[in-house]
């Protein structure tokens, strides 16, 4: 058997093959990145203070775009969605980020004697609501009582006094639930990770307070639904709009 000795041409051939394959490899990498961004995970930056201090201006988050193809959004999750046209102060800013407070069928009211929102008769403690110098934003700027339509979501910013959200548009529309809620179909995905700046990196998990919320139509944990305090007269305070 004769051993074939390597020649100088063989390394040259391998090197030439690499350079011929490189554009294909780069093309595949670009295609994979495009597909991942379009269908799996996408980054978004925070343009306003409507989610302070959970999310600050110019924070960047990762958004899971697959999860809501498998199930619907749940209470407490932070979502990115395509805002209705009448929610947009700038037509070019269509993607909003808010927290899901109530889902289709939920009975939502403000407020109990401790000024907490009530979901299906159970008061909701909200430690994530914006506070400044020890003073926390109110859970809602006025008293109300609604049942969320099927296939719709009631979403609020954590900075309640600076958020163009369901409460703001409920007041602007005179109590029109279709104008103040968003469609489940408009949701782009769930924000699950704050990754920039690195000093603030954290998982965006659902607060434990939502664990005690019963499903629509069930009896509150106290045995009876908790009634909201009487509603304020018309013309109550409105929240300042902000995406």
Q: How sure is the predictor about 242, in pLDDT bands with cuts at 50, 70 and 90?
A: very low
Give catalytic status of residue 13 as yes or no. Answer: no
Q: 124 near 116, Cβ under 8 Å?
A: yes
Same domain, 68 and 108: yes
Residue 241 lies in a domain: no
Question: Cα(154)–Cα(105) distance, rounded to whole angstroms?
Answer: 11
Same domain, 51 and 37: no
Q: Any idea what the Cα angle at residue 76 is, between residues 218 and 145, rounded to 5°?
A: 55
The predicted-structure confidence for 158-168, as pLDDT tens digits, reads as follows: 999 999 999 99
Question: Which of the residues 48, 50, 163, 180 is marked catalytic?
Answer: 50
Same domain, 22 and 58: no
Specify the pLDDT at position 1: 46
Residue 231 lies in a domain: no
Same domain, 63 and 167: yes
Specify the pLDDT at position 10: 55
CATH number of the domain at 54, please.
Answer: 2.10.109.10
Q: Is the pLDDT of residue 232 over 60?
A: no
Q: Is the pLDDT of residue 11 over 50?
A: yes
Residue 234 lies in a domain: no
Question: Cα(32)–Cα(57) distance, rounded to whole angstroms?
Answer: 30
The predicted-structure confidence for 75-97, as pLDDT tens digits, reads as follows: 999 999 999 999 998 888 899 99
Question: Which of the residues 48, 65, 98, 180 is marked catalytic?
Answer: 98
Domain extent for 147: 46-212
Same domain, 100 and 31: no
And the tokens for 88? 């947009």
Q: Is the pLDDT of residue 226 over 50?
A: no
To the nearest whole number, what is the mean pLDDT of the chain?
83
Exposure pattern of 146-167 as b/e (b: 16+ CB <10 Å)? bebeeebbbbbbbbbbbbbbbb
- Candidate from 53-57, 145-149, 209-213, 216-220 with smallest mean pLDDT: 216-220
Residue 219 lies in a domain: no
Same domain, 107 and 65: yes
The predicted-structure confidence for 176-190, as pLDDT tens digits, reads as follows: 999 999 999 999 999
And the tokens for 111? 């407020």
Give catalytic status of residue 98 as yes or no. Answer: yes
Helices (H), the chain: 9-39, 67-70, 166-172, 177-180
Give the chain's domain count: 2
Same domain, 36 and 78: no
Whole-structure pTM value:
0.78
Q: How sure is the predictor about 30, in pLDDT bands with cuts at 50, 70 and 90?
A: low
Same domain, 74 and 182: yes
């Amino acid at each position: 058997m004769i051993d074939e000795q390597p020649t100088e041409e063989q390394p040259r051939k391998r090197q030439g093959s690499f350079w011929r394959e490189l554009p294909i490899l780069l093309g595949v990498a670009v295609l994979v990145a495009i597909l991942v961004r379009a269908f799996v995970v996408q980054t978004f930056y925070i343009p306003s203070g409507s989610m302070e201090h959970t999310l600050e201006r110019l924070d960047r988050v990762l958004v899971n775009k697959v999860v809501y193809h498998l199930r619907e959004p749940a209470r407490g999750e932070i979502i990115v969605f395509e805002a209705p046209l009448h929610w947009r102060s700038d037509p070019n800013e269509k993607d909003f980020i808010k927290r899901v407070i109530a889902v289709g069928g939920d009975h939502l009211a403000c407020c109990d004697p401790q000024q907490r929102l009530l979901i299906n008769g159970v008061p909701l403690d909200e430690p994530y609501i914006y506070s400044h110098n020890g003073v926390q934003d109110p859970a809602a700027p006025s008293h109300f009582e609604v049942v969320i339509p099927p296939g719709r979501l009631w979403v609020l910013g954590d900075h309640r006094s600076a958020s163009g959200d369901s409460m703001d548009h409920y007041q602007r529309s005179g109590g029109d639930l279709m104008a103040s809620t968003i469609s489940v179909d408009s949701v782009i995905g769930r924000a699950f990770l704050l990754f920039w700046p690195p000093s603030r990196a954290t998982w965006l998990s659902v607060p434990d307070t939502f664990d005690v919320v019963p499903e629509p139509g069930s009896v509150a944990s106290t045995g009876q639904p908790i009634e909201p305090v009487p509603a304020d007269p018309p013309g109550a305070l409105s929240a300042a709009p902000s995406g």
